[in-house]
Amino acid sequence: METGRRRWQRTHGCGELRLGHVGQDVVLNGWVHRRRDHGGLIFIDLRDRSGIVQVVFNPQVDAAAYEAADGLRNEYVVSIRGRVRRRVPGAENPQLPTGEIEVDGMAVAVLSRAKPLPFSLDGRAEVDEAVRLRYRPLDLRRPAMQRIAILRHRVAMAVRTFLDREGFLEIETPILTRSTPEGARDYLVPSRVHPGKFFALPQSPQLFKQLLMVAGMERYFQIARCFRDEDLRADRQPEFTQIDAEMSFVDVDDVLDVMERLIVHVFREAAGIELPTPFPRLSYDEAIDRYGSDKPDLRFGMELADVSSAVAGSGFQVFDRALSAGGRVKALTVPGGAAMSRREIDQLVELAIQWGAKGLAWIAVHEDGVRSPIAKFFEPQAMDGLLRAAGAGKGDLVLLAADRRETAAEILGRFRLRLGRELFRPDPMQFACAWIVDWPLLQRNAETGRLEPANHPFTAPVDEDIPLLSTDPERVRAKAYDLVVNGYELGGGSIRIHRRDLQETVFRTIGLSGEEAADKFGFLLEAFEYGAPPHGGIAFGLDRLVMLLAGTDNIRDVIAFPKTQNASCLLTGAPSAVSEEQLRELHIRVR
């Protein structure tokens, strides 16, 4: 067998060869994807990033090459010299782009050997995710993972191409910054040269991009790394990437116009998908009332209904108490749900209670009447009116929640998402986009009773609502917007406050004293005094965008080296202990 001492210059990628290359001598480099010995012939599937090609070693063609190929094993890294020929009729492989040709192997050089792998790379067997993450470089060799990496690259390139054409400048912002309250815990970095003081990793470039607008850059973007020390989910990581953009001299419609065209361009250029435009716009209140979510999946219907009027005065105390307290009774009709067993319905009730509901009423509509624990509270005519209000017919199941408007809607919204996706099984490669606008500026924390920003404290209020900041702050609407796709928040942003007096008013409204504001945001407030233009922007989750385009529901699939759900890296063992000497240099003692 020839060794790595002899090298040839690669002429083609494995996946590039086609009928037009028949008769050409080629040099291919890659990994042995699979080796098959067919009694007198050895077949090697050779793989590189461009794809797979079949190489045939025949002792009648080259005895030395055949003998060398006999020693090859899966995942050996090799260089092969050979000649392209057409496959024998009937032996073509329509599953491969290279399936009409094969390569006669004439020489082999082993560049690197591989010991047996901890799991197969052919994608046929399910592999535990912990094992995949522990051996991530091997996992990333799999063609499916390489396709995702290529897709992510195409998305980033499409973003840069579009925004450059629209006059945006790509500008980097600091990774080491100061800790500021932005809604999640900061990752802190101790300073060696400033004992007892810390940098923070940025949760977003929010303050810096606003300062860039003050600096007169007018249109900025960045594919930015962000860090948040928060509990993780399948679509959330402690370090993530966002497409961050900011524009000067704009209002809401200007931002949405450019960013909608950006998303359409990215879907088209990176994945060949045409999105229908314009994207529908729903107010925050409308999204909550109709879908029970501020990020509704619009690929199917099953809208919520307000049945408060239909149940008023029924005598059912749960409904009456909620209505007398200013709450609402909301209904979700599940098509065909009457076929569910009592046990299945009881499980839904238990789930609602786990989600924070006081309970869950239900009505199963059968051919011969209704089945429901609350049927005794309704005369037949009143029950008919309730079913009409809920939009229910024979064979359907109606779920009813009575509580504060937002709480009742949220509980049923969760059921809508879970049951709707089970019923309608929407195609993951069908995309329903919508803008959610007119968000509340402030929301009251249910535990502390304090007003908090619904997004962040730099969001501008709707102009006509500014007087309400001092009289009825919970009614103030924000110039904020989210783009939702298939039930995911793909991005969010707002028009920003650009006047010091208004920014200080918002700070006071959320309980931030003048001293605290000056300490944490003095640099921003001072910048506003030197001529700040009206400005606004948005941040899209790049990881989440690629996750949607790749048709997966796990964000770890689209990040090269992700963390687990407990924010650890199984590949490197991070986070890890450090030496006492390092801690002493940082003036830190671990207790």
Q: Which of 138, 36, 53 is nearest to 98 (CA)?
A: 53
CA 109 to chain centre: 43
Exposed e or buried b per residue across 36-73, where buried means at least 16 C-beta atoms within 10 angstroms of its C-beta: eeeeeebbbbbbbebbbbbbbbeeeebeebbebbeebe
Task: List, in order, residues 6 or more apart from 445 with CB less than 8 Å away.
Answer: 451, 452
Domain shared by 451 and 393, yes or no: no
Residue 589 within a domain: no
Question: Same domain for 476 and 498?
Answer: yes
| pLDDT tens figures, 441-476 | 999 887 888 899 988 999 999 999 999 999 999 999
Contact between 55 and 43 under an 8 Å Cβ cutoff? The reply is yes
Domain check: are 363 and 408 in the same one? yes
User: Does the pLDDT value for residue 1 go beyond 70?
Assistant: no
CATH at residue 68: 2.40.50.140
Asked, for residue 305, whether it belongs to a domain, the answer is: yes
Alpha-carbon separation of residue 217 from 166, 175, 220, 509, 530 (angstroms): 13, 20, 7, 31, 15
Whether the per-residue pLDDT at 341 is higher than 90: the answer is: yes
Three-state DSSP class for residue 255: helix
- When the pLDDT of each residue in the chain is averaged and rounded to a whole number, the result is 94
* Residue whose token pair is 């968000």: 439
CATH of the domain at 448: 3.30.930.10
CA 237/CA 230 separation, integer angstroms: 9
Residue that finishes a domain, picked among 112, 130, 153: 112
Q: How many domains does the chain have?
A: 3
| Tokens of residue 562, six digits | 């992700």
CA–CA dist 121, 381 (Å, integer):
63
Question: Residue 239: beta bridge partners?
Answer: 227
| 544 and 463 together in one domain | yes
Percentage above 90 pLDDT, the chain: 90
The verdict on 322 and 276 lying in the same domain is: no
Do 51 and 15 meet the contact criterion of CB atoms below 8 Å apart?
yes
Same domain, 349 and 260: no
What is the DSSP secondary-structure string of 509-566?
Answer: HTT--HHHHHHHHHHHHHHHTTT---EEEEEEEHHHHHHHHHT-S-GGGGSSS---TT
Continuous segment of H or E residues that includes residue 351: helix 342-354
Q: Clarify whether residues 167 and 277 are in a common domain.
A: yes
Contact yes or no for 293/487 (Cβ under 8 A): yes
* pLDDT (0 to 100) of residue 7: 60
Confidence at residue 188, expressed as pLDDT on a 0 to 100 scale:
95
Interval 289-322: pLDDT, tens: 999 999 999 999 999 999 999 999 888 999 999 9
d(CA 272, CA 256): 22
Same domain, 474 and 517: yes
Max intra-chain CA distance, the chain: 93
Position 254 in a domain: yes
Residue 165 lies in a domain: yes
98 and 47 in contact (C-beta within 8 Å)? no
pLDDT, mean of residues 414-441: 96
The per-residue pLDDT for range 494-514, each reduced to its tens digit, is 999 999 999 999 999 998 888
What span, in angstroms and rounded, lies between the C-alpha atoms of 271 and 546?
10
Task: Determine the Cα–Cα distance for residues 420 and 426; give it in Å rounded to an integer.
Answer: 9
Contact 226, 235 (CB under 8 A): no
Half-sphere exposure of 463 (CA within 13 A, CB side): 4
pLDDT surpassing 70 at residue 4: no
pLDDT for 264 equals 98
Report the share of the chain in percent with pLDDT over 70: 98
User: Using one digit for the tens of pLDDT, what is the confidence trace for 215-235?
Assistant: 999 999 999 999 999 877 767
pLDDT tens column, 178-212: 998 766 899 999 999 999 999 999 999 999 999 99
Report the relative pairing of strands 361-366 and 369-371 from DSSP bridges: antiparallel
Domain containing residue 483: 145-282+433-559
Q: DSSP letters of 437-471?
A: E--BSEEE-TTT--EEESS-TTBPBPGGGGGGGTT
Nearest in space to 14 (alpha carbons), one of 84, 91, 94, 92 = 84
Q: pLDDT tens digit string along 142-166?
A: 999 999 999 999 999 999 999 999 9
| 126 phi/psi in degrees, rounded to 5 | -70, 135
CATH, residue 375: 3.30.1360.30
The CA distance from 350 to 438, in Å, is 34
The length of the chain in residues reads: 591
Q: Structure tokens of 295?
A: 């990020």
pLDDT for 445 equals 84
The last residue of one of the domains, among 424, 455, 487, is 424
Question: In 3D, which of 322, 329, 293 has the Cα closest to residue 308?
Answer: 329
Mean pLDDT for the stretch of residues 67-92: 96
Q: Give 338-347's long-range contacts (Cβ < 8 A, gap of 24+).
A: 338/364, 338/365, 338/366, 338/371, 338/394, 338/395, 338/396, 338/397, 339/395, 340/364, 340/397, 345/397
Together in a domain, 529 and 551: yes
* Residue that is last in its domain, among 91, 112, 133: 112
> Based on the domain organization, do 277 and 307 belong to the same domain?
no
Q: Are strands 397-403 and 369-371 parallel, antiparallel or unpaired?
A: unpaired
For residues 347 and 379, state if they share a domain.
yes
Q: Which amino acid is at 524?
A: L
Question: Residue 347 and residue 466: Cα distance in Å, rounded?
Answer: 46
Whole-angstrom distance, CA of residue 312 vs CA of residue 327: 12
Per-residue pLDDT band for 440 (boundaries 50, 70, 90) equals: very high
Going across the sheet that includes 488-495, the strands are: 169-170, 219-227, 239-248, 535-541, 488-495, 480-485, 433-437, 281-283
pLDDT of residue 182: 64
Does the predicted TM-score (pTM) go above 0.85? yes
CA pair distance 222, 156, nearest whole angstrom: 10
Question: Is 126 inside a domain boundary?
Answer: no
Asked if 343 and 255 sit in the same domain, the reply is no
Which two tokens mark 72?
Answer: 């090859």
Instruction: Classify residue 343: in a domain, yes or no.
Output: yes
**Model confidence pLDDT, tens digit, residues 109-131:** 999 999 999 999 987 778 999 99
Q: Which amino acid makes up residue 293? A: S
Q: Is 562 left (phi over 0), alpha (psi -120 to 50) or beta?
A: beta
Judge whether 276 lies within some domain: yes
Interior/surface letters 352-373, b for 16+ CB within 10 angstroms, e for the rest: beeeebeebbbbbbeeeebebe
Quick one: pLDDT at residue 2? 47
Distances (CA, A) of 191 to 175, 176, 525, 552: 14, 10, 26, 40
Quickly state the pLDDT bin for 586 (edges 50, 70, 90).
very high
pLDDT in tens, 511-568: 888 898 999 899 999 999 999 999 999 999 999 999 999 999 999 999 999 999 889 9
Q: Kindly state whether residue 5 falls inside one of the protein's structural domains.
A: no
Q: How confident is the model at residue 5 (pLDDT cuts 50, 70, 90)?
A: very low
Instruction: Answer for the pair 401, 415: CB distance below 8 angstroms, yes or no.
Output: no
Q: What is the CA radius of gyration of the chain?
A: 30
